[in-house]
Amino acid sequence: MSFFKFLISRAFWINVLIAIGLLSLLVFLFFQFLDSYTNHGESLTVPDLTGKSIEAVQETIEAKSLNFKVFDTVYISDLPLNTVIEQNPVPGSKVKRNRTIYLTMNSGQPAKVRLPNLDNSSVTHARDLLRNKKLKIGELEYVPHWAPNLVLGMKYKGRDITKNDSVAEGSVIDLVVGDGLKDSEITVPNLSGLRYQEAVFLLKGAGINIGNPIVMGSVTDTADAIVYRQRPQPGSGKIALGDVIDIWIMDPEVYELQNGMPEDENPGEE
C-alpha cells in the first residue's frame, strides 16, 4: 500500500480521531486539575476582625476557611485588652482559601515608662512632658509656696513618686503645686456652653480640678461634648485653688436643640 493510499484510508482517520480525542481529554483533565489546585475563579471576603478576642477570631476564621497570625502587639488604654486593633488584609478584601490574615492585638500589659523630671516646671510644661511620655495629668494639690503653679512634687495613686520611678503608660499623675502665697481663691468660672476639653483646659490653667463628667443621654465623644451644668454654679462665690468643680455634659446636637439646658434639669438642685 502506498503512503498516499494510507493517508486516505479509513484506518488512518480512525487513528487520527482517537488521537484527537485523547489529546482533548488530556487537556480537559489538565485544566480541571489546575482549577482545583488554584481555586480558579473562587475567592473569599475577608471578615472584619477588629475588636474581636482571639477566641472569636479563631471561630470566625475557621468558618471562612482562612488562617490568622498575630503579627504585632500594642497597648491602647482606652480599648479592650487582648482584642484585634488592625488586620492585614483589611476587611472586605478578596482572597483565596487558606490565606493568612495578620493581626495587631491590644496587649494585656502596658509598657513601663520612666517619669520625666518635672523639677522647676510650670503646670503647663509638666502637662506637655507627661503627655510626651503617654501619661496623663491628674489632680492639682496646692501647697503654700512663693512660686505660683510651680511643680513641687508628683503623686501616683496617693503615694509620692520621683523622676526615678517607672509607671505604666496611660497612668494618671497628680501634681503638688505652689500657690504663690497669694489669694488662694478665685471666682467660680462659668463653664456653660464650653466643650469638655475646653473646660478641662480652663480649669487646669486656673488651678481648679475637674470631677468626672456626669453624662446626660448618649455621648459618643466626651472631649467634644458640651457642658450644660456645673457645681458650684457660676456667680455663687469663690472657690479655693485645688478644689473640684463637677460638671454635666451632653451631646452637642442635643444641647443645641434644647438651648443648652434640658427642661427637666434644675441647676440649683442636686
Residue 29 grid coordinates: 483533565
Distance CA(32)–CA(42), nearest Å, equals: 14
User: HSE on the CB side for 31, CA within 13 Å?
Assistant: 6
- Cβ proximity of 216 and 226 under 8 Å: no
Q: Which of 42-46, 87-91, 210-214, 252-256 has the weakest average pLDDT?
A: 42-46
pLDDT tens string 212-246: 899 988 888 888 999 999 999 988 888 887 889 99
Residue 225 burial by CB count (10 A; 0-12/13-18/19+): exposed, middle or buried? Answer: buried
Distance CA(136)–CA(126), nearest Å, equals: 10
Residue 240 grid coordinates: 479655693
pLDDT tens string 157-180: 999 999 889 998 889 999 999 877
Residues 6+ apart with CB under 8 A from 214: 246, 247, 248, 249
Distance CA(201)–CA(195), nearest Å, equals: 10
pLDDT above 80 (res 109): no
Which of the 8 DSSP states describes residue 223?
G
